[in-house]
Structure 1
Protein backbone atom coordinates (compact mmCIF):
# COMPACT_ATOMS: atom_id res chain seq x y z
CA UNK A 1 0.00 0.00 0.00
CA UNK A 2 1.20 3.50 -0.79
CA UNK A 3 2.45 4.85 2.56
CA UNK A 4 1.59 8.44 1.66
CA UNK A 5 -2.02 7.40 0.95
CA UNK A 6 -2.18 5.48 4.22
CA UNK A 7 -0.84 8.43 6.19
CA UNK A 8 -3.36 10.79 4.62
CA UNK A 9 -6.22 8.35 5.32
CA UNK A 10 -5.21 8.30 8.99
CA UNK A 11 -5.04 12.10 9.05
CA UNK A 12 -8.52 12.37 7.53
CA UNK A 13 -9.81 9.90 10.13
CA UNK A 14 -8.37 11.95 12.98
CA UNK A 15 -9.81 15.15 11.50
CA UNK A 16 -13.23 13.50 11.19
CA UNK A 17 -13.15 12.75 14.92
CA UNK A 18 -12.36 16.40 15.65
CA UNK A 19 -15.23 17.47 13.39
CA UNK A 20 -17.61 15.12 15.20
CA UNK A 21 -16.54 16.60 18.56
CA UNK A 22 -17.14 20.15 17.29
CA UNK A 23 -20.58 19.20 16.01
CA UNK A 24 -21.43 17.61 19.35
CA UNK A 25 -20.46 20.81 21.18
CA UNK A 26 -22.14 23.16 18.69
CA UNK A 27 -24.61 25.65 20.15
CA UNK A 28 -28.23 25.48 19.10
CA UNK A 29 -30.48 28.20 17.69
CA UNK A 30 -34.24 28.36 18.10
CA UNK A 31 -36.20 28.36 14.83
CA UNK A 32 -39.86 29.05 13.96
CA UNK A 33 -42.41 26.29 13.54
CA UNK A 34 -42.52 26.42 9.72
CA UNK A 35 -45.47 25.12 7.72
CA UNK A 36 -45.08 22.72 4.79
CA UNK A 37 -47.42 21.05 2.32
CA UNK A 38 -48.06 17.32 2.05
CA UNK A 39 -50.54 15.10 0.23
CA UNK A 40 -52.71 15.13 3.34
CA UNK A 41 -52.54 18.90 3.87
CA UNK A 42 -50.38 21.43 5.74
CA UNK A 43 -48.01 20.20 8.44
CA UNK A 44 -45.85 22.02 10.94
CA UNK A 45 -42.13 21.45 11.43
CA UNK A 46 -42.90 20.39 14.99
CA UNK A 47 -45.14 17.58 13.76
CA UNK A 48 -42.36 16.16 11.59
CA UNK A 49 -40.55 15.02 14.74
CA UNK A 50 -43.23 12.31 14.93
CA UNK A 51 -42.64 11.64 18.61
CA UNK A 52 -38.83 11.70 18.37
CA UNK A 53 -36.49 14.30 19.88
CA UNK A 54 -34.19 14.58 16.85
CA UNK A 55 -35.23 15.37 13.29
CA UNK A 56 -33.05 15.17 10.20
CA UNK A 57 -34.36 17.28 7.33
CA UNK A 58 -32.87 16.47 3.94
CA UNK A 59 -32.76 19.50 1.65
CA UNK A 60 -33.40 18.27 -1.87
CA UNK A 61 -33.63 20.46 -4.97
CA UNK A 62 -36.33 18.24 -6.44
CA UNK A 63 -36.71 15.86 -9.33
CA UNK A 64 -34.84 18.17 -11.72
CA UNK A 65 -31.49 17.59 -9.96
CA UNK A 66 -29.54 14.41 -10.72
CA UNK A 67 -27.10 15.02 -7.87
CA UNK A 68 -29.87 15.47 -5.29
CA UNK A 69 -31.37 12.24 -6.58
CA UNK A 70 -28.02 10.48 -6.06
CA UNK A 71 -27.79 11.60 -2.42
CA UNK A 72 -31.38 10.62 -1.70
CA UNK A 73 -30.86 7.22 -3.35
CA UNK A 74 -27.98 6.57 -0.96
CA UNK A 75 -29.66 7.91 2.18
CA UNK A 76 -32.78 5.89 1.41
CA UNK A 77 -30.75 2.74 2.10
CA UNK A 78 -29.92 3.99 5.62
CA UNK A 79 -33.49 5.04 6.40
CA UNK A 80 -34.51 2.01 8.52
CA UNK A 81 -31.37 2.42 10.63
CA UNK A 82 -31.88 6.16 11.11
CA UNK A 83 -35.60 5.94 11.82
CA UNK A 84 -35.04 3.51 14.66
CA UNK A 85 -33.90 6.51 16.69
CA UNK A 86 -34.53 9.68 14.69
CA UNK A 87 -37.19 11.23 12.51
CA UNK A 88 -36.19 11.80 8.86
CA UNK A 89 -38.01 13.95 6.29
CA UNK A 90 -37.08 14.98 2.77
CA UNK A 91 -38.06 18.52 1.71
CA UNK A 92 -38.06 20.00 -1.78
CA UNK A 93 -39.80 22.75 -3.74
CA UNK A 94 -41.72 20.19 -5.82
CA UNK A 95 -45.43 19.79 -5.16
CA UNK A 96 -46.47 16.83 -2.97
CA UNK A 97 -47.92 15.11 -6.04
CA UNK A 98 -44.65 15.38 -7.98
CA UNK A 99 -42.71 14.29 -4.90
CA UNK A 100 -44.84 11.17 -4.57
CA UNK A 101 -44.50 10.17 -8.22
CA UNK A 102 -40.75 10.70 -8.21
CA UNK A 103 -40.30 8.87 -4.90
CA UNK A 104 -42.20 5.88 -6.28
CA UNK A 105 -40.02 5.87 -9.40
CA UNK A 106 -36.87 5.74 -7.23
CA UNK A 107 -38.15 3.37 -4.55
CA UNK A 108 -37.72 6.02 -1.84
CA UNK A 109 -39.35 5.45 1.54
CA UNK A 110 -38.88 8.96 2.95
CA UNK A 111 -41.65 10.96 4.49
CA UNK A 112 -41.77 14.00 2.23
CA UNK A 113 -43.07 17.56 2.34
CA UNK A 114 -42.94 20.58 0.05
CA UNK A 115 -41.50 23.91 1.19
CA UNK A 116 -42.88 25.75 -1.87
CA UNK A 117 -44.11 29.20 -0.85
CA UNK A 118 -42.41 29.00 2.55
CA UNK A 119 -39.57 31.11 3.89
CA UNK A 120 -37.96 27.91 5.15
CA UNK A 121 -35.41 27.49 2.29
CA UNK A 122 -34.01 30.99 2.76
CA UNK A 123 -34.17 30.94 6.56
CA UNK A 124 -32.70 27.47 7.09
CA UNK A 125 -30.36 27.17 4.12
CA UNK A 126 -27.23 25.04 4.44
CA UNK A 127 -25.37 27.52 2.21
CA UNK A 128 -25.52 31.18 3.30
CA UNK A 129 -26.99 33.35 0.54
CA UNK A 130 -28.27 30.32 -1.43
CA UNK A 131 -31.85 29.40 -0.49
CA UNK A 132 -32.25 26.17 -2.46
CA UNK A 133 -29.12 24.08 -1.99
CA UNK A 134 -28.84 20.38 -1.18
CA UNK A 135 -27.85 19.36 2.31
CA UNK A 136 -29.08 18.14 5.67
CA UNK A 137 -30.13 19.91 8.87
CA UNK A 138 -30.41 18.41 12.33
CA UNK A 139 -33.14 19.86 14.54
CA UNK A 140 -33.77 18.91 18.16
CA UNK A 141 -36.83 19.49 20.28
CA UNK A 142 -36.72 20.74 23.84
CA UNK A 143 -40.23 21.11 25.22
CA UNK A 144 -42.09 23.43 22.84
CA UNK A 145 -38.86 24.78 21.32
CA UNK A 146 -37.38 23.66 17.99
CA UNK A 147 -33.61 24.12 17.90
CA UNK A 148 -31.26 23.88 14.94
CA UNK A 149 -28.21 21.87 16.04
CA UNK A 150 -26.06 21.27 12.94
CA UNK A 151 -26.18 21.33 9.16
CA UNK A 152 -24.04 20.33 6.21
CA UNK A 153 -24.01 20.90 2.48
CA UNK A 154 -24.22 18.08 -0.04
CA UNK A 155 -21.81 18.35 -2.95
CA UNK A 156 -19.46 16.26 -5.08
CA UNK A 157 -16.71 14.75 -2.95
CA UNK A 158 -18.53 15.23 0.37
CA UNK A 159 -18.87 12.85 3.33
CA UNK A 160 -22.51 12.04 2.71
CA UNK A 161 -22.33 10.09 -0.54
CA UNK A 162 -20.18 6.97 -0.49
CA UNK A 163 -19.67 6.85 -4.24
CA UNK A 164 -16.97 9.55 -4.23
CA UNK A 165 -14.27 7.62 -2.33
CA UNK A 166 -15.09 4.54 -4.39
CA UNK A 167 -14.54 6.51 -7.61
CA UNK A 168 -11.25 7.85 -6.24
CA UNK A 169 -9.96 4.28 -5.91
CA UNK A 170 -10.23 4.09 -9.70
CA UNK A 171 -8.36 7.38 -10.07
CA UNK A 172 -11.52 9.37 -10.86
CA UNK A 173 -12.39 12.72 -9.29
CA UNK A 174 -15.90 14.09 -8.83
CA UNK A 175 -15.39 16.06 -12.04
CA UNK A 176 -14.85 12.88 -14.06
CA UNK A 177 -18.32 11.42 -13.45
CA UNK A 178 -21.88 12.76 -13.55
CA UNK A 179 -24.80 10.80 -12.07
CA UNK A 180 -27.74 9.88 -14.27
CA UNK A 181 -31.33 8.98 -13.48
CA UNK A 182 -30.96 5.69 -15.33
CA UNK A 183 -28.09 3.75 -16.88
CA UNK A 184 -30.19 1.49 -19.08
CA UNK A 185 -29.17 1.56 -22.73
CA UNK A 186 -31.60 0.68 -25.49
CA UNK A 187 -30.49 -2.54 -27.19
CA UNK A 188 -30.42 -2.84 -30.94
CA UNK A 189 -33.06 -5.01 -32.57
CA UNK A 190 -30.31 -7.39 -33.63
CA UNK A 191 -29.31 -7.93 -29.98
CA UNK A 192 -32.85 -8.79 -28.86
CA UNK A 193 -33.47 -12.49 -28.23
CA UNK A 194 -37.06 -12.06 -29.41
CA UNK A 195 -36.06 -10.41 -32.67
CA UNK A 196 -36.90 -6.91 -31.46
CA UNK A 197 -40.29 -6.68 -33.13
CA UNK A 198 -42.21 -3.65 -31.84
CA UNK A 199 -39.14 -2.13 -30.17
CA UNK A 200 -39.59 1.66 -30.37
Structure 2
Protein backbone atom coordinates (compact mmCIF):
# COMPACT_ATOMS: atom_id res chain seq x y z
CA UNK A 1 0.00 0.00 0.00
CA UNK A 2 1.39 3.40 -0.94
CA UNK A 3 2.24 5.92 1.75
CA UNK A 4 -0.20 8.81 1.99
CA UNK A 5 0.49 12.37 3.01
CA UNK A 6 -1.34 13.34 6.20
CA UNK A 7 -2.84 16.83 5.88
CA UNK A 8 -5.35 19.17 7.49
CA UNK A 9 -9.06 18.96 6.72
CA UNK A 10 -8.79 22.10 4.61
CA UNK A 11 -5.95 20.67 2.54
CA UNK A 12 -7.87 17.41 2.10
CA UNK A 13 -10.97 19.27 0.84
CA UNK A 14 -8.84 21.15 -1.68
CA UNK A 15 -7.34 17.90 -2.97
CA UNK A 16 -10.76 16.25 -3.01
CA UNK A 17 -12.26 19.09 -5.07
CA UNK A 18 -9.44 18.77 -7.58
CA UNK A 19 -10.23 15.07 -7.89
CA UNK A 20 -13.96 15.86 -8.11
CA UNK A 21 -13.31 17.77 -11.32
CA UNK A 22 -11.89 14.59 -12.84
CA UNK A 23 -14.83 12.54 -11.55
CA UNK A 24 -17.21 14.98 -13.25
CA UNK A 25 -15.29 14.54 -16.51
CA UNK A 26 -15.81 10.80 -16.21
CA UNK A 27 -19.51 11.24 -15.41
CA UNK A 28 -20.04 13.38 -18.49
CA UNK A 29 -18.11 10.88 -20.63
CA UNK A 30 -20.19 8.03 -19.20
CA UNK A 31 -23.41 9.88 -20.02
CA UNK A 32 -22.24 10.44 -23.60
CA UNK A 33 -21.35 6.76 -23.86
CA UNK A 34 -24.79 5.74 -22.57
CA UNK A 35 -26.46 7.95 -25.19
CA UNK A 36 -24.28 6.42 -27.89
CA UNK A 37 -25.13 2.92 -26.62
CA UNK A 38 -28.87 3.63 -26.77
CA UNK A 39 -28.45 4.89 -30.35
CA UNK A 40 -26.77 1.70 -31.60
CA UNK A 41 -28.55 -0.12 -34.46
CA UNK A 42 -30.51 -3.27 -33.66
CA UNK A 43 -30.51 -6.80 -35.10
CA UNK A 44 -33.82 -8.61 -35.47
CA UNK A 45 -33.88 -12.03 -33.81
CA UNK A 46 -35.60 -14.40 -36.24
CA UNK A 47 -34.26 -17.63 -34.75
CA UNK A 48 -36.55 -19.51 -32.36
CA UNK A 49 -34.92 -20.44 -29.06
CA UNK A 50 -36.52 -22.79 -26.54
CA UNK A 51 -35.15 -22.77 -23.00
CA UNK A 52 -35.71 -25.30 -20.23
CA UNK A 53 -36.94 -23.74 -17.00
CA UNK A 54 -38.30 -25.06 -13.70
CA UNK A 55 -41.83 -25.00 -15.13
CA UNK A 56 -41.03 -26.43 -18.57
CA UNK A 57 -39.98 -25.03 -21.91
CA UNK A 58 -40.14 -21.29 -22.58
CA UNK A 59 -39.30 -19.12 -25.57
CA UNK A 60 -37.06 -16.07 -25.67
CA UNK A 61 -40.23 -13.98 -25.89
CA UNK A 62 -41.60 -15.62 -22.73
CA UNK A 63 -38.53 -14.50 -20.80
CA UNK A 64 -39.57 -10.83 -21.20
CA UNK A 65 -42.57 -11.49 -18.90
CA UNK A 66 -44.63 -8.95 -20.83
CA UNK A 67 -42.06 -6.17 -20.54
CA UNK A 68 -40.34 -4.58 -23.55
CA UNK A 69 -36.76 -4.96 -22.32
CA UNK A 70 -34.77 -8.06 -21.40
CA UNK A 71 -31.27 -8.26 -19.91
CA UNK A 72 -29.62 -11.68 -20.12
CA UNK A 73 -26.77 -12.47 -17.76
CA UNK A 74 -24.78 -15.30 -19.32
CA UNK A 75 -23.68 -17.28 -16.27
CA UNK A 76 -20.88 -19.76 -16.88
CA UNK A 77 -22.19 -23.19 -15.84
CA UNK A 78 -21.27 -26.07 -18.17
CA UNK A 79 -23.45 -29.20 -18.18
CA UNK A 80 -20.79 -31.30 -16.44
CA UNK A 81 -20.04 -28.75 -13.71
CA UNK A 82 -21.50 -29.11 -10.22
CA UNK A 83 -21.54 -25.36 -9.54
CA UNK A 84 -21.61 -22.12 -11.49
CA UNK A 85 -18.48 -20.09 -12.07
CA UNK A 86 -17.49 -18.31 -8.84
CA UNK A 87 -16.89 -15.03 -10.70
CA UNK A 88 -20.26 -15.15 -12.48
CA UNK A 89 -21.80 -15.91 -9.09
CA UNK A 90 -20.11 -12.77 -7.74
CA UNK A 91 -22.05 -10.79 -10.36
CA UNK A 92 -25.26 -12.74 -9.67
CA UNK A 93 -25.09 -11.87 -5.97
CA UNK A 94 -25.05 -8.24 -7.08
CA UNK A 95 -28.15 -8.30 -9.29
CA UNK A 96 -30.20 -10.72 -7.16
CA UNK A 97 -32.11 -7.94 -5.38
CA UNK A 98 -32.33 -5.64 -8.39
CA UNK A 99 -35.11 -7.63 -10.09
CA UNK A 100 -38.10 -5.60 -8.79
CA UNK A 101 -36.31 -2.30 -9.36
CA UNK A 102 -35.58 -3.19 -12.99
CA UNK A 103 -39.15 -4.44 -13.44
CA UNK A 104 -40.40 -1.03 -12.31
CA UNK A 105 -38.57 0.40 -15.33
CA UNK A 106 -40.02 -2.10 -17.83
CA UNK A 107 -36.98 -4.37 -17.75
CA UNK A 108 -36.68 -8.08 -16.97
CA UNK A 109 -33.38 -9.71 -16.03
CA UNK A 110 -32.76 -13.42 -16.39
CA UNK A 111 -29.74 -15.71 -16.10
CA UNK A 112 -29.05 -18.26 -18.84
CA UNK A 113 -26.57 -21.15 -18.71
CA UNK A 114 -25.84 -24.42 -20.51
CA UNK A 115 -26.27 -26.65 -17.45
CA UNK A 116 -29.57 -28.55 -17.15
CA UNK A 117 -32.41 -26.85 -15.33
CA UNK A 118 -32.26 -29.22 -12.35
CA UNK A 119 -28.64 -28.23 -11.66
CA UNK A 120 -29.49 -24.56 -12.03
CA UNK A 121 -32.34 -24.83 -9.55
CA UNK A 122 -30.24 -26.77 -7.03
CA UNK A 123 -27.44 -24.20 -7.15
CA UNK A 124 -29.91 -21.33 -7.09
CA UNK A 125 -31.41 -22.74 -3.88
CA UNK A 126 -27.95 -23.18 -2.38
CA UNK A 127 -27.13 -19.53 -3.04
CA UNK A 128 -30.54 -18.25 -1.95
CA UNK A 129 -31.19 -16.58 -5.29
CA UNK A 130 -34.68 -15.78 -6.58
CA UNK A 131 -34.06 -14.47 -10.12
CA UNK A 132 -35.24 -16.49 -13.14
CA UNK A 133 -32.62 -18.89 -14.49
CA UNK A 134 -33.11 -21.11 -17.53
CA UNK A 135 -31.04 -23.62 -19.44
CA UNK A 136 -29.92 -23.13 -23.04
CA UNK A 137 -28.35 -26.58 -23.17
CA UNK A 138 -30.66 -27.72 -25.97
CA UNK A 139 -30.17 -24.75 -28.32
CA UNK A 140 -27.52 -22.50 -29.92
CA UNK A 141 -28.23 -19.38 -27.86
CA UNK A 142 -24.91 -19.35 -25.97
CA UNK A 143 -22.95 -19.98 -29.14
CA UNK A 144 -24.91 -17.44 -31.19
CA UNK A 145 -24.34 -14.73 -28.58
CA UNK A 146 -20.68 -15.71 -28.30
CA UNK A 147 -20.22 -16.88 -24.73
CA UNK A 148 -19.83 -20.62 -25.47
CA UNK A 149 -17.34 -21.99 -27.96
CA UNK A 150 -16.58 -25.35 -29.51
CA UNK A 151 -13.28 -27.14 -29.03
CA UNK A 152 -12.73 -26.80 -32.78
CA UNK A 153 -13.07 -23.00 -32.58
CA UNK A 154 -10.66 -22.84 -29.68
CA UNK A 155 -8.12 -25.16 -31.34
CA UNK A 156 -8.28 -23.14 -34.56
CA UNK A 157 -7.77 -19.92 -32.63
CA UNK A 158 -10.92 -18.33 -34.02
CA UNK A 159 -11.16 -14.87 -32.46
CA UNK A 160 -14.83 -14.52 -31.55
CA UNK A 161 -14.96 -13.51 -27.90
CA UNK A 162 -15.58 -9.83 -27.15
CA UNK A 163 -16.04 -9.11 -30.86
CA UNK A 164 -12.69 -10.70 -31.66
CA UNK A 165 -10.70 -8.46 -29.32
CA UNK A 166 -10.09 -10.89 -26.45
CA UNK A 167 -8.44 -14.35 -26.77
CA UNK A 168 -10.29 -17.42 -25.59
CA UNK A 169 -9.45 -18.57 -22.10
CA UNK A 170 -12.00 -21.38 -22.01
CA UNK A 171 -15.05 -22.85 -23.75
CA UNK A 172 -17.40 -20.97 -21.39
CA UNK A 173 -17.01 -17.21 -20.96
CA UNK A 174 -19.09 -14.46 -19.31
CA UNK A 175 -21.26 -11.84 -20.95
CA UNK A 176 -24.44 -9.78 -20.92
CA UNK A 177 -26.89 -9.49 -23.82
CA UNK A 178 -29.79 -7.04 -24.09
CA UNK A 179 -32.97 -7.44 -26.13
CA UNK A 180 -36.05 -5.34 -26.96
CA UNK A 181 -39.52 -6.65 -27.81
CA UNK A 182 -41.97 -4.37 -29.59
CA UNK A 183 -45.76 -4.42 -29.42
CA UNK A 184 -45.89 -6.66 -32.49
CA UNK A 185 -43.85 -9.27 -30.61
CA UNK A 186 -40.72 -8.79 -32.71
CA UNK A 187 -37.47 -9.23 -30.78
CA UNK A 188 -34.26 -7.31 -31.41
CA UNK A 189 -30.76 -7.75 -30.07
CA UNK A 190 -29.60 -4.28 -29.00
CA UNK A 191 -26.40 -4.69 -27.00
CA UNK A 192 -23.83 -7.13 -25.63
CA UNK A 193 -20.74 -6.72 -23.49
CA UNK A 194 -18.03 -9.10 -22.37
CA UNK A 195 -14.78 -9.34 -20.38
CA UNK A 196 -13.87 -5.97 -18.81
CA UNK A 197 -17.09 -4.53 -20.21
CA UNK A 198 -18.89 -6.40 -17.41
CA UNK A 199 -16.94 -4.53 -14.74
CA UNK A 200 -19.42 -1.66 -14.62
CA UNK A 201 -22.16 -4.07 -13.51
CA UNK A 202 -20.34 -5.29 -10.38
CA UNK A 203 -21.37 -3.04 -7.50
CA UNK A 204 -18.93 -4.67 -5.05
CA UNK A 205 -15.99 -3.73 -7.24
CA UNK A 206 -17.27 -0.17 -7.52
CA UNK A 207 -17.40 0.07 -3.73
CA UNK A 208 -13.89 -1.34 -3.43
CA UNK A 209 -12.67 1.27 -5.90
CA UNK A 210 -13.66 3.93 -3.34
CA UNK A 211 -11.35 2.52 -0.67
CA UNK A 212 -7.64 3.12 -0.03
CA UNK A 213 -6.75 -0.50 -0.77
CA UNK A 214 -8.96 -0.62 -3.87
CA UNK A 215 -9.46 -4.11 -5.26
CA UNK A 216 -6.20 -5.19 -3.68
CA UNK A 217 -5.55 -7.80 -6.38
CA UNK A 218 -1.89 -7.05 -7.03
CA UNK A 219 0.31 -10.11 -6.83
CA UNK A 220 -2.53 -12.63 -7.19
CA UNK A 221 -2.24 -15.37 -9.84
CA UNK A 222 -5.09 -13.59 -11.64
CA UNK A 223 -7.26 -10.61 -10.58
CA UNK A 224 -10.27 -12.55 -9.27
CA UNK A 225 -8.32 -15.35 -7.58
CA UNK A 226 -9.62 -14.17 -4.19
CA UNK A 227 -13.30 -14.53 -5.13
CA UNK A 228 -15.22 -17.45 -3.63
CA UNK A 229 -18.82 -18.57 -3.77
CA UNK A 230 -20.65 -16.61 -1.12
CA UNK A 231 -20.94 -19.63 1.19
CA UNK A 232 -17.26 -20.55 0.90
CA UNK A 233 -15.59 -17.53 2.51
CA UNK A 234 -13.82 -18.18 5.78
CA UNK A 235 -15.99 -16.99 8.69
CA UNK A 236 -14.89 -13.63 10.05
CA UNK A 237 -14.41 -15.04 13.55
CA UNK A 238 -11.89 -17.57 12.22
CA UNK A 239 -9.71 -15.01 10.49
CA UNK A 240 -8.08 -13.58 13.59
CA UNK A 241 -6.24 -10.31 13.29
CA UNK A 242 -6.56 -8.31 10.07
CA UNK A 243 -3.74 -9.04 7.65
CA UNK A 244 -3.09 -5.29 7.44
CA UNK A 245 -2.99 -4.79 11.20
Same fold (TM over 0.5): yes
Aligned twin of 1:21? 35
1:57 aligns with 2:67: no
- Distance in structure 2 (CA, Å) of the matches to 1:175 and 1:118: 37
Counterparts of 1:128 and 1:90 in 2: how far apart (Å)? 21
- Alignment partners' CA distance in 2, 1:45 and 1:57: 10
Q: Does 1:38 align with 2:53?
A: yes
Give the corresponding residue for 1:197: none
Aligned equivalents of 2:64 and 2:96: distance in 1?
A: 18
- The answer on 1:170 being equivalent to 2:212 is yes
Name which of 180, 184, 190 aligns with 2:234.
184
Cα–Cα, structure 1 residues 174 and 120, in superposed 2: closer, same or farther, change >3 Å? farther
Which of the pair is proportionally richer in strand?
Answer: 1
Gaps of 5+ in 1: 189-200
> How does the TM-score come out when normalised to structure 2?
0.68
SS of 1:118's equivalent in the other structure is coil
- Give the corresponding residue for 1:141: 181
Within-5 A mapping of 1:83-98 = 83-84=103-104, 85-98=106-119
Q: Which moved more, 1:153-162 or 1:100-109?
A: 153-162
- Provide TM-score, normalisation by structure 1: 0.82
In structure 1, distance between residues paired with 2:201 and 2:126: 22
Whether contact under 8 Å (2:112, 2:134) holds in the other structure is yes
Distance 1:186-1:174 versus aligned 2 partners, 3 A rule: closer
**Aligned CA-pair RMSD:** 2.5
Structure 2 gap ranges (5+): 1-14, 78-82, 148-161, 219-223, 239-245
Number of residues of Structure 1 aligned to a counterpart in Structure 2: 188
User: Aligned equivalents of 2:63 and 2:139: distance in 1?
Assistant: 16
Structure 1's 162 and 27: CA in aligned 2 closer, same or farther, altered over 3 A? Answer: same
- Is the contact made by 1:157 and 1:174 (CA closer than 8 Å) also made in structure 2? no
Moved more, 66-75 or 107-116: 107-116
| Of 20, 27, 34, the match for 1:6 | 20
Aligned to 1:128: 163
Q: Deviations over 1:4-43 (max 9, x none)?
A: 5333322221111011101111111012231111223222
